[in-house]
Structure 1
Amino acid sequence: MRYSIPPIHCLTAFETVARLRSLSKAADELHVSASAVGHRLRQLQEGLGFRLFTGTQGEYVLSAKGTEYLEVVKTCLASLNHFPLETARSSARRTLRIASPPSFARQFLVARLPDFIRRHPRLNASLQLSVPLVGLKSDDADIEVRFGDGRYEGQEVIPLLHEPVFPVCGPQYLARHGSFLHPEDLAKATMLRSALEPWRPWLDAAGLDWPEPTADVDYFDMGLLLEACVNGQGVALARQTMAAGYLGSGALVRLFELTAWPTYGYYLTVLPENMERLEVADFITWLKGIVAKPESTDIAHTIEPSGSTDGSLQVNKG
């Protein structure tokens, strides 16, 4: 049997507005914006083909058909709310599903996410890993940190972090191969490769008409690339945020002051309907605020040029 049932979020919006007689109060209870509630009411009315409320704009007085339909909606919502009971009880706490590339999650998010949860005591967070550029992950996410060119069809895209790159290597590798005084001295080095971080922009900035380096291993993760560099396998391109811990500890050494703007950056992507959720909007504001203020993270960042404590965190490996 096929069912023609309005979306559940439209039904809950209708019941809440009818009960509270206020769009703003309904928005507060549902944890969405007032415009989102209004959109859901219009969507429901268009699907039903009759008006739910009468009166002038801003007055929420039920029409005759609206009163009749409300009783049906309340009965159905009550049935869903009580089956199963344990699920209904656990739904008092919402879950924000976040996806992120492994390196950004490891180097940036993991240490800071508990701070966001402390600010939202009725919220759980699920952090899963995605594959850079491809975006492959284990489950649908409410918001995703993506590493790429910023073109993501059907998504709301928010620029997050775009930093210049510079060459680094481990101190042992530097001791074995001597100093690198000029960019052309890299000719004697093993230049580690990652499809995520092409050398071309930096080579162009250095005036070196060299082909893209070839290597026995292509690291499809920025963290793995830096680990290979720490282990003395060669020279790699790094970004300040991802390499801050290594540089601070001396595990990596920066070779030149010369930097270049890379091909890819970090972006937040959200489905348009998820932008209406308060926890999603709060997460965007919180993360952009941390990235934009180096003093809050003890990391020096370069932003992309204009061009209660009972919350919990779950980590899923995608």
Structure 2
Amino acid sequence: MIPYLPPLQALRAFEAAARHLSFSRAADELSLTHGAISHHIARIESDLGGSRLFVRVGQRMLLTETGQVLLADLREGLQRLADAFERARTHRSPAGQQPRRTLHVGVLPSLAARWLVPRLSRCQAACPEVDIALRPSAALAALDGHDGIDLAIRYGPGRWPGLRAEKLMDSHVFPVCSPALLGRTVLEAPADLLKVTLLRNPRQPWAPWFRAAGLELPEPTEGPLYDDAGLLLQAAATGQGVALARSALAMDDLAAGTLVRVCNTALVDDYRWWLVWREPLRCERADFDAFRGWLKAEAGRP
């Protein structure tokens, strides 16, 4: 029978706090609140009969002697657990065949549908032993070991506490519409857009593009509103109006001719696409490096 142990999350919280000597930095690393870290530490101290693990000296937080003893043994124990799990995960089948591994990737639904999925057939050459499991969601993956996601592709500023981020590709924003709409309406100058319906997305406002095009116009308050960027472009492709497109999401439609660009003004977006992960990796380094290299190669294709 295994003796009583505090919850693993509490032990991880203590290890992170002891490593950083900061509850705040531990909270950022584990995507928890400062209060949650404090609660976990208090839980362990209670299990130890009230022994303190940390003490403050001026502005500094230090480990007590009890904390130092626990930290040394805990790190060894956590490493042995990680080693045991890794051995089980890479255990060969009786036939001597290495079992296939799965890489769980968090991604926005719009990027998954319009950019990543159409290219995944080429991924097999770069990652022949790995199955890619996409986890589309508009919510940010915590990458904390509890959401089942190994790495994620995010659209944003590239700064997320506790996470590593590597730029995947820039994003340019420009108006698009269906060839049929462009065929029956003259849309040569930016001001010509006032003659057509502007499709809206709350996460991609028109006002910054207006300014880049030299138009002093307020943000539109009328016109169909689409919360999903993929649905926005689908609406544009069916002739419902003109939409602002992010380059990565529209490139295949532009190549196929189902969407065409309107005007020549493109806005370089402050946000970009990023590959995001947390160290230590939950997946095998070789799998991560192979998928990462393939993604960067695909992002560099014209």
Counterpart residue number, 1:151? 159
Distance 1:2 1:162, change over 3 A: same
AA at the equivalent of 1:164:
H
Counterpart residue number, 1:3? 5
Which of 191, 213, 216 is the matching residue for 1:206? 213
Match of 1:165, SS?
Answer: strand
Counterpart residue number, 1:245? 252
Following superposition, the deviation at residue 125 of structure 1 comes to 1.9
Following superposition, the deviation at residue 267 of structure 1 comes to 0.9
Match of 1:154, SS?
Answer: coil
Counterpart residue number, 2:42? none
What is the RMSD of the two structures over their aligned residues, measured on CA atoms?
Answer: 3.8
Contact residue 176 and residue 245 of structure 2 kept, 8 A? yes
1:183 aligns with 2:185: no
The correspondence of residues 1-318 of structure 1 with structure 2, limited to 5 A, is: 1-3=3-5, 47-48=72-73, 92-131=99-138, 134-135=139-140, 139-176=147-184, 178-274=185-281, 277-292=285-300, 294=301, 300=302
Contact residue 171 and residue 269 of structure 2 kept, 8 A? yes
| 1:97-139 per-position Cα deviation (integer Å, ceiling 9, x unaligned) | 01111121122221322332333333222111020xx426994
Which segments of 5 or more consecutive residues in structure 1 lack a partner in the other structure?
A: 8-44, 53-68, 295-299, 301-318
| 1:197-246 per-position Cα deviation (integer Å, ceiling 9, x unaligned) | 22222111111111112245432222111101011111111233322232
Distance 1:207 1:90, change over 3 A: same
Measure the CA separation in 2 of the matches of 1:49 and 1:206.
59
Measure the CA separation in 2 of the matches of 1:235 and 1:6.
52
Counterpart residue number, 1:314? none
Counterpart residue number, 2:34? none
Match of 2:218, SS?
Answer: coil
* Corresponding pairs, count: 229
Measure the CA separation in 1 of the matches of 2:242 and 2:8.
58
Measure the CA separation in 2 of the matches of 1:159 and 1:169.
29
Contact residue 192 and residue 213 of structure 1 kept, 8 A? no
After TM superposition, what 4+ stretches of structure 1 lie above 6 angstroms from structure 2? 4-7
Distance 1:220 1:264, change over 3 A: farther
TM superposition score normalised by structure 1? 0.61
Distance 1:124 1:47, change over 3 A: farther
Measure the CA separation in 2 of the matches of 1:49 and 1:163.
44
Distance 1:77 1:226, change over 3 A: closer
Contact residue 6 and residue 47 of structure 1 kept, 8 A? no
Match of 1:185, SS?
Answer: helix
Distance 1:244 1:152, change over 3 A: same
* The 10-residue stretch of structure 1 (235-244 or 95-104) with the greater mean CA deviation from structure 2: 235-244
| 1:240-291 per-position Cα deviation (integer Å, ceiling 9, x unaligned) | 3322232223222211111111242211110121187221122112211221
Distance 1:151 1:195, change over 3 A: farther
> Which protein has greater RCO, CA pairs closer than 8 Å, 6+ apart?
1
Contact residue 144 and residue 268 of structure 1 kept, 8 A? yes
AA at the equivalent of 1:165:
V
TM superposition score normalised by structure 2? 0.64
Contact residue 101 and residue 130 of structure 1 kept, 8 A? yes
Counterpart residue number, 1:11? none
Distance 1:263 1:191, change over 3 A: farther
Q: What's the % identity of the aligned pairs?
A: 34
Counterpart residue number, 1:313? none
Measure the CA separation in 2 of the matches of 1:223 and 1:194.
10
AA at the equivalent of 2:73:
L
Measure the CA separation in 1 of the matches of 2:214 and 2:131.
50
Measure the CA separation in 1 of the matches of 2:7 and 2:191.
67
Contact residue 127 and residue 290 of structure 2 kept, 8 A? no
Distance 1:106 1:49, change over 3 A: closer
Contact residue 192 and residue 235 of structure 1 kept, 8 A? yes
